Amino acid sequence: MCGRLAQVLTPAKAAEIFDVAEALPNAAPLYNAPPTSSLMVIRQNPATGRCHLDMLRWGLIPSRSRDMTVSSSLMNARSETVASKPSFRGAWKASRRCIIPADAFYEWKRNGDERMPFAVAHRDRSPMAFAGLWENWKDPADGAWVRSFTILTRPAGAPIDSIHHRMPVILPQEAWKAWLTAGPVPPTITAELPMPDLVVWPVSSRVNAVKNTDAGLLDPVSNIDGPSHQEQRQSPVENGSAELFSTFS
């Protein structure tokens, strides 16, 4: 599952990493983005083969929906069943695939009655490339077009599986082009992807509230019951989030 993420890299940096034709105007970094947020998404123009960076709403709205209320519940799509689920089948068949760049995402681990938040990122702090699907929806009220997306998920592997049983599908760089290019995708593509090299660390419970949006949300905190003290010791997050993510600004 992925219900909260940090998208800190600038549009210019995203354009450079993903070989995008044109970068968006500068956008503020997002350290605690929830569903319904507008996020940077990479899509490919099937006519030209060029990739473009656009702002899309997180939470897919099926093209035949009457309104946007369903969006929040469709923030994720299971990669194992996405091709057959009615809500996602149209986007899947039309090859409306996309990539969502993310510097980190958050997961919560239950500890009795408490839910402890953790941040997850690439060990080398390079942006992750989440596999997604996007869709067009026309608002019947005013005729405005809304473009939205969902993030594909897969069974979690180490070190995330000690916190949650699901995680986003994170594409390695060699899979970016194939994922974005229109055409059939093997149903097992996500199951065959290797586990990326990730690190996990505990963060402040302030991340629970979407009103909190500062960079300090990614700072590590002491957590005796954390899932992996070894990961915390090895991870350079000990130096704080401001230094870690400065290379993406």
- The one catalytic residue in 2, 51, 98, 231 is 2
- Please state, in angstroms and rounded to a whole number, the distance separating the CA atoms of residues 186 and 193: 12
Q: In 3D, which of 168, 124, 191 has the Cα closest to residue 4?
A: 168
Whether 238 is catalytic is: no
Whether 2 is catalytic is: yes
Backbone angles phi and psi of 20, in degrees to 5:
-90, 145
Quote the longest CA-to-CA distance of the chain: 54
Whether the CB-CB separation of 54 and 24 falls below 8 Å is answered with: yes
- Please state, in angstroms and rounded to a whole number, the distance separating the CA atoms of residues 49 and 139: 29
E strand segments, 1-113? 5-7, 30-33, 38-44, 51-58, 76-78, 97-102, 104-111
Q: What is the DSSP letter of 23?
A: P
CA distances in angstroms from 237 to 12, 146, 200, 201, 248, listed in the order given: 24, 37, 9, 8, 15
- The one catalytic residue in 51, 98, 107, 231 is 107
Active site residues: 2, 107
